[in-house]
Amino acid sequence: MNQNNRQNRGLVGYLALLIIMLGALSLVNFYSSNKSGNTVYDMEKALSSGQVAVARITPDQVPPTGVVELVLTSGEVLSIQVTDVAEAEKMLKEYNIYPVVNKAQGEGILTSVVLPIGLSVLAVIVVISIMNRGGGGAGRMANFGKSHARLSLGGEGITFDGVAALKEEKEELEEIVQFLKNPGKFIEVGARIPKGVLLEGPPGTGKTLLAKAIAGEAGVPFFSISGSDFVEMYVGVGASRVRDLFNEAKKHEPCIVFIDEIDAVARQRGTGMGGSHDEREQTLNQLLVEMDGFGINEGVIVIAATNRVDILDPAIMRPGRFDRKIVVGRPDVGGRKEILLTHSRNKPLGDDVNLEYIAQTTAGFTGADLENLLNEAAILAAKQERKYICQADINKAFIKVGIGAEKKSKIISDKEKRITAYHEAGHAILFHVLPEVGPVYTVSIIPTGMGAAGYTMPLPDKDDMFLTRGRMEQDIMVSLGGRIAEEIIFDDITTGASSDIRKATKEARMMVTRYGMSENIGVICYDDDDDEVFIGRDLAHAKSHSESVAGEIDREVKAIIDDCYRRAKDIILENENVLHSCAALLLEKEKITRKEFEDLFVQS
């Protein structure tokens, strides 16, 4: 469908909505012509609390007096005698309520009976005719303009108790729970609570579960909506959904708004391809406007989830928006056991079931994978008319879900695990010993699901303006550490270090050709191309130097690498006992913290 057509359908939809509203309003008026004793003060109260859905003004036959009728979101109708209808209209508009202004009162049967009924009938006809055009339109029309948000009170009864393994994540979120429970306490001491929290991690790791549990713990309403719900076929609908959602949320504060798959709306602007690109930008802009619009500590906390933090528009991470990011990773052995325990609470297990063993053999599995595993096992047990699950059911289920999970995270053998453990320990030791890199924050051999068998994470870089030669050499040494450890421990070497080697080589080449850091080449830049993409560059560009210089560069690069390699190997050999103890601890726990790692140096 082309853009124009889409817009037209959007317009018709809005028109239909408007007509329905007018019709409904007239009917309401018709049946509730009782004039209660409401005052302008009531009107202001209703407006400022955001309860007014629609308004109608009917001037008396002798202006400026008249009657203002407000239909509240609760369905209640307030009717207020005012002394100046123009003044009332102005006040309504200040709250973004655009009233229907009637002709002067004293209406006949035409306006009070025929018109409302006629309008309603017309609206129904319009809606039906739209629904009949194009099959897909029907379902969409049914909730046209609504925010699509699903409201559940207290997150469906899920609490932190039902979220296993994510201990640190839960601790970080605890302060948000406390705030939602008792905002006053925080406001009194002038504490600023984050408006938005971004949960980042692979699918099935428990992000949605965590968000629900926060609502459950705090006992507040939970509005949830998926980013893909915003991206609709009608231009402008996404933005209006965002507006509706936040309007609704503000009425229920304190509360949680959960936006799943936020990457669907919050992709970097201006990079979109394909049709719904304008629509997405509008939606994202509206989201940012809403988040900026409500004040600090207002009681609406937005939680978003994504597994693609890399493609998010950096604008959403600005202060006052999603200023807290929590990484929800795949569980380690201990975590997997906890998750298995949680999900076997209502599943009777036979005596031969060994959850410890299952946890050890499921590296890379997410919470959802594990839940799935137990569920498949339960189905197998039920098929055999057994009242409990036995280990054989789990083994069978493992094959079934394991094959599915393999695509995602690749089940690793014990041998591969050992190699990875030594490899990461090698990196980690160098990070720790070398003064200008590190310290190590986490060492992990949990497969990332994106090709890496493990990772060693230093604390975030200090914002150094210049890289020194010493620092660059130490980076290279760290990169080579994994490969060196493999070489020391195993006779064979693996292909696992190829990206490390590429990184080391690239850095050494930059030292020679860009930073003038080698003896023989000197302070000359042979690398005037800022292009980060190396593939094919040598083919496409004429070299700015001769073959002999090229040979010299290669020799210098090799000299740097060789030198770093020797020095790195010496350090690892000096710490060989830490290499063993670190690998052993990694095999036991899969993920170790800075403290656990540093303690290894003290013990040895």
Any idea which residues carry the catalytic annotation?
A: 424
* 13 vs 4: CA distance, rounded Å: 14
**Is 449 a residue that touches ligand ADP (CB under 6 A)?**
no
Write out the two tokens for 232: 């609709």
Min separation Cβ 414 and Zn ion, Å: 19
Q: How far is the CB of 155 from ligand ADP (least distance, A)?
A: 11
**Region binding Zn ion by CB under 5 A among candidate stretches 22-30, 320-328, 384-392, 498-506:** 498-506
Please, are residues 177 and 217 in contact by the beta-carbon 8 Å criterion?
yes
Does residue number 208 form part of the binding site for ligand ADP (CB under 6 A)?
yes
Compute the distance between CA of residue 256 and CA of residue 245 in angstroms, rounded to an integer.
Answer: 11
Q: Which is nearer to ligand ADP, 35 or 167 (CB)?
A: 167
Interface pick for ligand ADP out of 339, 377, 425, 586 (rule CB under 6 A): 339
Compute the least distance from the CB of residue 347 to Mg ion, in Å.
23
φ, ψ dihedrals at 197, nearest 5°: -125, 130
User: Considering only CA atoms, which of 262, 279, 281, 283 is closest in space to residue 270?
Assistant: 281
In angstroms, give the least distance from the CB of 150 to ligand ADP: 14
Helix (H) or strand (E) holding 485: helix 469-489
CA atoms of 238 and 227, how far apart (whole Å): 9
| H or E element in which residue 210 lies | helix 207-218
Which of Zn ion, ligand ADP, Mg ion, none does 206 bind, CB closer than 5 to 8 A by kind? Answer: ligand ADP
Q: Does residue number 205 form part of the binding site for Mg ion (CB under 5 A)?
A: no
Q: Which two tokens stand for residue 287?
A: 């989201």
Residue 18 CB: number of other CB atoms within 10 A?
13
Binding mask 129-158 for ligand ADP (x = CB under 6 A): ------------------------------
- Residue 500 binding result from Zn ion, Mg ion, ligand ADP, none, given CB thresholds of 5 to 8 Å by partner type: Zn ion
Question: Is 166 near ligand ADP (CB under 6 A)?
Answer: yes
C-alpha–C-alpha distance, residues 294 and 50, integer Å:
14
Q: Which stretch binds ligand ADP (CB under 6 A): 163-171, 266-274, 429-437, 485-493?
A: 163-171
Q: Is 371 in the site for ligand ADP (CB under 6 A)?
A: yes
Taking CB under 5 A as the criterion, the residue among 475, 500, 507, 590 binding Zn ion is: 500
- Tell the residue number behind the tokens 């909730």, with chain if given: 143
Residue list 278-337, contact with ligand ADP (CB under 6 A)? 305
Residue type, 103: K
Helix, strand, or coil here: 9? helix
Q: State the DSSP code for 528.
A: -
The verdict on 208 binding Mg ion (CB under 5 A) reads yes
Residues near 466 by beta carbon (within 8 Å), at least 6 away in sequence? none
* Residue 276 binds ligand ADP (CB under 6 A): no
| 475 sits near Zn ion (criterion: CB under 5 A) | no
Least Cβ distance, residue 305 to Mg ion (angstroms): 6
Is 366 a residue that touches Mg ion (CB under 5 A)?
no
DSSP 155: G
Length of the chain: 604
Q: Which residues bind Zn ion (CB under 5 A)?
A: 482, 500
Q: Which residues bind ligand ADP (CB under 6 A)?
A: 163-166, 201, 203-209, 305, 339, 342, 367-368, 371
Q: Which residues bind Mg ion (CB under 5 A)?
A: 208
